[in-house]
């Protein structure tokens, strides 16, 4: 050997030898950035933004889970960095010990750290886009395709990735600087063996933690209700603080898991002493990791529950629909009459039966409503012309539904669904108003009628025949309408339904190009009060005939018909963007959680390598070592998964119950489907657990 060698070459050689450690760090960074980049690309994509209602719960849900994912990614990049430096510190310590100054070490270290973190971050950010593209197009290819799903990117999402990238690189440099600043060289050398034990709490810790979680969930969920009922004010934004006990509760549960475990081995208290002590001595980081994993799994479940929650009730609704075709329209629109519909049906070889139709009128209905005051407060006030209501006469209702409807003069019956879970029922009206003549009919609530097809966002009421005739007098066609329903004799045809749908939409003029939340009576009331009606200035409250096949139109057009075969077949297509997004969120959360678990297990193994070596020297059999590794990994995977999944399932159940004060049949089935989904998630997590065990055993040579 006669070549020269300098510091830079030596550092390069050392870096080359550290490939294994670097690879784990690169992998974690790359994965985190790919996840963040993909999530933000999808979240901010115009395709998704168009479909998720502005200010809607699903959008909030999407953002909330993004924050959780971000937190997860921050944790595991920091964690991977910690692992990398733990190894690196040995090297730094040796070099410092034999007289390398910090100034001499700094350039090489910063170069390495910036190169690794920067390179992986850039690669991850770039990879996020094809990742989204592949998943999205895979979904389109395998499951459903629609024009709504054409994926476009808003490249502003790069700002989020860029910020995260800077955070990753910045934190890496900061950690490098922190190591270099350590004055005690022995500390640097021994960093690899430094433990972070947690203070051991009593066995009360876990149960109290569970109580806190429960208390937080109940308080948080009940807070908006309590504000409204007790203080007559809307829940302020800070009311989320009532959920706060959940977090110390979760921490205590995880701490209990790490320190005590959940099984008492009275006969053999030393049964898990080795695996338990290994976890305990890395306690602080382990607890933090378990917390993040729990939240990610809970977030993933929250997202994936959206699919059955929506799908089951819709599918059940389609299945229980008594008529194949049901639609309503304004009297002044040129909608095909019966003979035209039948002629169209003939073209598709269809004949119809049980044809039924009736007329209705649109009236102003009074009701109690919240009037906003200063400081989030509100008062409940009765407003005579509160909303638009679809009103049928007794005879019309009987003709349409075949049900008896005996309405006393001066009263009204509200139409609701069979399970009485609809929110569009009015029990407080004292009068109906003819919006053309402004005559009023005094009335009072007398009970319910049940007909699912008539239930939508508009109140639907039935009046005594004479009352109906009196109040409807003088109404123009724009305040009158017709409801039609019929069944197909034999097997229905999707092609017919599609053709009829297109013809149906085409027959409406622009006066009916309204969002279902656009209330004509409210609009008049606001105009007369000289106030601005919210829907006039809210872009999301508009629909366009140009997109009559889109999700938004079908979801929100005021005259959207119920064509069973069309709705059933197009359901997935129409909901595809929402479903795709939530499925994606679920996958991202699950993948992030599993990466955190995997790296945690790896680090426990690496940090305790010497324990396993000692155990081997003390005569521990491979089977015993295998059991210890499994026990370690099981603790990391099992508790966060169980707590995350069961916690979210309970919260979901609470939400279903709180919607209408009970669990409906569709909701029971939804819960069953969710449990099946949880079982599937459990199987997936078990697969990763097995993989982690295998990898650790490989590293430890067991």
Applying CB under 8 A, which residues contact other proteins?
1-2, 4-7, 10, 13-18, 91, 93-104, 183-186, 189
Whose Cβ is closer to other proteins: residue 15's or residue 594's? 15
Shortest distance (Å) from residue 97 CB to other proteins: 6
In Å, how far from its chain's centre is CA 374? Answer: 32
Shortest distance (Å) from residue 18 CB to other proteins: 7
Shortest distance (Å) from residue 66 CB to other proteins: 40
Whose Cβ is closer to other proteins: residue 26's or residue 350's? 26
Q: 627 with 337: CB under 8 angstroms?
A: no
Whose Cβ is closer to other proteins: residue 21's or residue 401's? 21
Shortest distance (Å) from residue 281 CB to other proteins: 17
Alpha-carbon distance of 603 to 695, in angstroms, equals 11
Shortest distance (Å) from residue 98 CB to other proteins: 5
Shortest distance (Å) from residue 121 CB to other proteins: 25
Shortest distance (Å) from residue 102 CB to other proteins: 6
Whose Cβ is closer to other proteins: residue 3's or residue 268's? 3
Q: 582 with 80: CB under 8 angstroms?
A: no
Whose Cβ is closer to other proteins: residue 18's or residue 332's? 18
Shortest distance (Å) from residue 599 CB to other proteins: 22
Shortest distance (Å) from residue 13 CB to other proteins: 6
CB atoms within 10 A of CB 46: 12
Whose Cβ is closer to other proteins: residue 60's or residue 104's? 104
Shortest distance (Å) from residue 196 CB to other proteins: 16
Q: 563 with 287: CB under 8 angstroms?
A: no
Shortest distance (Å) from residue 620 CB to other proteins: 21
Specify the pairing of strand 459-463 against strand 378-393.
parallel
| Spatial CB neighbours of 670, under 8 Å, sequence gap ≥ 6 | 308, 309, 312, 313, 656
* Structure token digits, residue 128: 């996020």
Q: 497 with 567: CB under 8 angstroms?
A: no
Q: 360 with 391: CB under 8 angstroms?
A: yes
Mapped onto helix, strand or coil, the DSSP state of residue 391 is: strand
Whose Cβ is closer to other proteins: residue 101's or residue 351's? 101
Shortest distance (Å) from residue 189 CB to other proteins: 7
Q: 677 with 300: CB under 8 angstroms?
A: no
Whose Cβ is closer to other proteins: residue 101's or residue 511's? 101
Cα distances (angstroms) measured from residue 673 to each of 106, 298, 308, 309: 56, 17, 7, 9
Mapped onto helix, strand or coil, the DSSP state of residue 528 is: helix
* Structure token digits, residue 702: 């067991």
Residue 453: closest CA among 321, 319, 314, 315: 321
Question: At residue 317, what are phi and psi to the nearest 5 degrees?
Answer: -65, -45
Shortest distance (Å) from residue 108 CB to other proteins: 11
Shortest distance (Å) from residue 583 CB to other proteins: 44
Q: Write out the E strands in 434-516.
A: 440-442, 444-450, 459-463, 480-489
Whose Cβ is closer to other proteins: residue 176's or residue 293's? 176
Cα distances (angstroms) measured from residue 213 to each of 68, 237, 595: 18, 21, 25
Whose Cβ is closer to other proteins: residue 88's or residue 600's? 88
Specify the pairing of strand 411-416 against strand 444-450.
parallel
Whose Cβ is closer to other proteins: residue 184's or residue 268's? 184
Whose Cβ is closer to other proteins: residue 568's or residue 608's? 608
DSSP 210-232: HHHHHHHHHHHHHHHHHHHHHHS
Whose Cβ is closer to other proteins: residue 100's or residue 313's? 100
Dihedral of CA atoms 111, 26, 78, 101 in degrees, nearest 10, equals -30
Shortest distance (Å) from residue 10 CB to other proteins: 5
Helix spans in 473-563 (H)? 494-506, 520-528, 551-556
Whose Cβ is closer to other proteins: residue 7's or residue 650's? 7
Shortest distance (Å) from residue 182 CB to other proteins: 11
Q: 485 with 400: CB under 8 angstroms?
A: yes
Dihedral of CA atoms 139, 131, 601, 201 in degrees, nearest 10, equals -80
Q: How many CA atoms lie within 13 A of 335 on its CB side?
A: 21
Whose Cβ is closer to other proteins: residue 105's or residue 363's? 105
Whose Cβ is closer to other proteins: residue 13's or residue 338's? 13
Whose Cβ is closer to other proteins: residue 101's or residue 437's? 101
CB atoms within 10 A of CB 607: 20
Would you call 45 exposed, middle or buried from its count of C-beta atoms within 10 A (0-12, 13-18, 19+)?
buried
| Spatial CB neighbours of 74, under 8 Å, sequence gap ≥ 6 | 32, 167
Specify the pairing of strand 440-442 against strand 431-433.
antiparallel
* Structure token digits, residue 488: 């197909």
Angle at alpha carbon of residue 444, lines to 440 and 446, rounded to 5°? 140
Alpha-carbon distance of 618 to 597, in angstroms, equals 29
In Å, how far from its chain's centre is CA 382? Answer: 36
Shortest distance (Å) from residue 702 CB to other proteins: 19
């Amino acid at each position: 050997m006669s070549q020269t060698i300098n510091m830079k070459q030596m550092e390069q050689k050392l870096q080359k030898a550290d490939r294994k450690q670097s690879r784990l760090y690169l992998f974690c960074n790359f994965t985190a950035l790919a996840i963040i980049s993909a999530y933000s690309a999808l979240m901010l994509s115009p395709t998704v933004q168009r479909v998720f209602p502005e200010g809607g719960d699903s959008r909030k849900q999407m953002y909330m889970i993004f924050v959780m994912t971000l937190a997860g990614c921050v944790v595991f990049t920091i964690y991977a960095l910690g692992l990398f430096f733990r190894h690196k510190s040995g090297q730094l310590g040796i070099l410092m010990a034999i007289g390398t100054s910090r100034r001499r070490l700094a350039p090489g270290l910063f170069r390495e750290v910036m190169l690794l973190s920067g390179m992986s971050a850039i690669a991850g950010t770039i990879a996020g886009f094809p990742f989204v593209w592949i998943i999205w197009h895979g979904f389109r290819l395998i499951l459903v395709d629609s024009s709504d799903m054409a994926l476009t990117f808003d490249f502003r999402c790069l700002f989020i990735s860029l910020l995260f990238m800077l955070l990753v690189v910045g934190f890496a440099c900061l950690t490098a600087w922190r190591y270099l600043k350590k004055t005690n060289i022995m500390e640097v050398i021994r960093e690899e063996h430094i433990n972070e034990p947690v203070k051991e709490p009593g066995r009360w810790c876990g149960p109290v933690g569970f109580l806190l979680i429960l208390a937080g969930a109940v308080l948080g969920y009940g807070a908006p209700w309590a504000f409204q009922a007790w203080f007559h004010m809307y829940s302020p934004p800070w009311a989320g603080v009532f959920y706060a006990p959940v977090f110390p509760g979760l921490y205590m549960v995880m701490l209990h898991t790490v320190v005590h475990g959940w099984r008492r081995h009275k006969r053999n208290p030393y049964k898990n002493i080795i695996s338990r002590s290994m976890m305990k001595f890395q306690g602080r980081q382990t607890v933090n990791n378990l917390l993040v994993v729990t939240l990610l799994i809970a977030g993933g479940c929250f997202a994936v529950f959206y699919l059955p929650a929506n799908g089951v009730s819709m599918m059940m609704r389609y299945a229980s629909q008594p008529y194949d075709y049901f639609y309503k329209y304004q009297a002044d629109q040129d909608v095909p009459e019966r003979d035209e519909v039948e002629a169209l049906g003939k073209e598709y070889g269809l004949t119809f039966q049980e044809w039924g139709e009736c007329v209705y009128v649109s009236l102003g209905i009074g009701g109690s409503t919240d009037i906003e005051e200063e400081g989030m407060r509100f008062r409940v006030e009765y407003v005579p012309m509160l909303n638009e209501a679809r009103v049928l006469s007794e005879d019309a209702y009987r003709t349409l539904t075949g049900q008896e409807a005996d309405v006393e003069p001066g009263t009204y019956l509200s139409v609701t669904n069979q399970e009485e879970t609809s929110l569009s029922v009015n029990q407080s009206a004292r009068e109906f108003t003819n919006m053309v003549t402004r005559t009023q009919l005094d009335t009072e609530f007398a009970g319910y009628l049940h007909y699912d097809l008539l239930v939508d966002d508009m109140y639907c009421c039935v009046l005594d025949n004479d009352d109906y005739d009196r109040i409807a007098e003088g109404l123009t066609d724009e305040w009158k309408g017709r409801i039609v329903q019929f069944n197909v004799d034999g097997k229905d045809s999707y092609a017919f339904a599609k053709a009829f749908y297109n013809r149906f939409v085409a027959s409406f003029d622009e006066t009916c190009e309204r969002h279902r939340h656009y209330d004509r009576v409210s609009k008049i009331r606001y105009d007369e009060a000289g106030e601005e009606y919210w829907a006039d200035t809210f872009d999301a409250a508009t629909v366009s005939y140009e997109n009559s096949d889109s999700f938004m139109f079908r979801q929100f057009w005021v005259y959207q018909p119920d064509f069973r075969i069309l709705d059933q077949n197009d359901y997935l297509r129409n909901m595809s963007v929402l479903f795709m997004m939530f499925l994606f969120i679920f996958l991202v959360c699950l993948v992030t959680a599993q990466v955190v678990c995997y790296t945690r297990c790896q680090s426990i193994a690496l940090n305790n390598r010497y324990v396993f070596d000692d155990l081997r020297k003390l005569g521990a059999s491979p089977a015993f070592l295998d059991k210890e590794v499994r026990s370690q990994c099981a603790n990391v995977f099992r508790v966060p998964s169980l707590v995350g999944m069961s916690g979210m399932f309970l919260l979901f159940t609470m939400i279903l119950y709180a919607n209408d004060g009970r669990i409906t049949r569709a909701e029971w089935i939804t819960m069953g489907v969710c449990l099946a989904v949880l079982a599937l998630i459990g199987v997936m997590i078990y697969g990763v657990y097995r993989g982690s065990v295998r990898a650790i055993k490989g590293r430890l040579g067991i």
